[in-house]
Structure 1
Amino acid sequence: MNIREFYDADPRRRASEEITFGDGWTTADDEHSTYRLNWVVDTGEIYSVREPHPGGILARYLDQFRVDQADVDELLVDVLADTDRYAVEAALAGWPAVMPEKDSLSWARRQLAALGSASPSER
């Protein structure tokens, strides 16, 4: 689903505060994109958003100036876990050092897959 569909699917997502866990994650099979990880306070979801950079990874920096911005349909969301903030922080401990590495999103996915889900009362 794209980012618009993600927010439209649950109104709590739009109103919620989000905690960011970096915006430079990469995958081995998608060298012209970066990913950002956010945790939604009101839903307990941590998700990744694929942000394509058609001009290559260096074009990511041009994105700050709104050059060749990706269309909303290209901003693809993947919910990686549904849990509380403390579990996310523990699972991603040390993420700033890992994120710049090649295929770093695979590490984050492995870390988060081990969490399971927390009930809403645990958030």
Structure 2
Amino acid sequence: MDIRAFYRADPRRQSSVEVPFGDGWTDHEDSHSTYRLSWVADTGEIYAVREPHPGGILARYLDQLDVDQADVSALRVEILAVADRDTIEAGLAGWPAVMSEHDSLRWVRTQLAALPAAP
């Protein structure tokens, strides 16, 4: 789903505090995009947003300067897990050092898949 649909699907997401977990995650199957991770306090969801960079990874820096931004409908959301903040932080301990590695989103998925199931 796109980012608009994600927020519309659950009104709690719209007013919730969010905790960021970086914005430079990569997926080896999608070399022209980066991903940002956030945890939503009111729902317990940690999600990834795919941010396409049609010009390649260097275009990410232009995006940060508001040059050639991707359309909001291109910002795809994937809910990765549901857990409380302490559980997410423990599962992603050390994430800043891993984020810049090749295919770092795989590490995130592996770490979050190993979390205990939410009640």
Superposition TM-score tier, normalisation by shorter sequence: over 0.9
1:78 aligns with 2:78: yes
Q: Report the equivalent of 1:11.
A: 11
How many Å separate the matches in 2 of 1:90 and 1:16? 21
Q: Provide structure 2 residue ranges, at least 5 long, that are not aligned to the other structure.
A: none
How many Å separate the matches in 2 of 1:100 and 1:64? 17
Q: Report the equivalent of 1:91.
A: 91
Structure 1 position 113, deviation (Å): 1.0
TM-score (norm 2): 0.97
For 1:64-119, what per-residue CA distance to the aligned partner results, in whole angstroms no more than 9, with x for missing partners?
A: 22111111111000000010000100000000000000000000001001114323
How many Å separate the matches in 2 of 1:72 and 1:33? 14
Q: What aligned pairs does 1:1-123 form with structure 2 within 5 A after superposition?
A: 1-119=1-119
Match of 1:80, SS?
Answer: strand
RMSD between aligned alpha carbons? 0.8
Q: Provide structure 1 residue ranges, at least 5 long, that are not aligned to the other structure.
A: none
Match of 2:70, SS?
Answer: coil
TM-score (norm 1): 0.94
Match of 1:37, SS?
Answer: strand
Structure 1 stretches (4+) deviating beyond 4 angstroms? none
How many Å separate the matches in 2 of 1:93 and 1:50? 22
User: How many aligned residue pairs are there?
Assistant: 119
> How many percent of aligned residue pairs carry the same amino acid?
70
Match of 2:108, SS?
Answer: helix
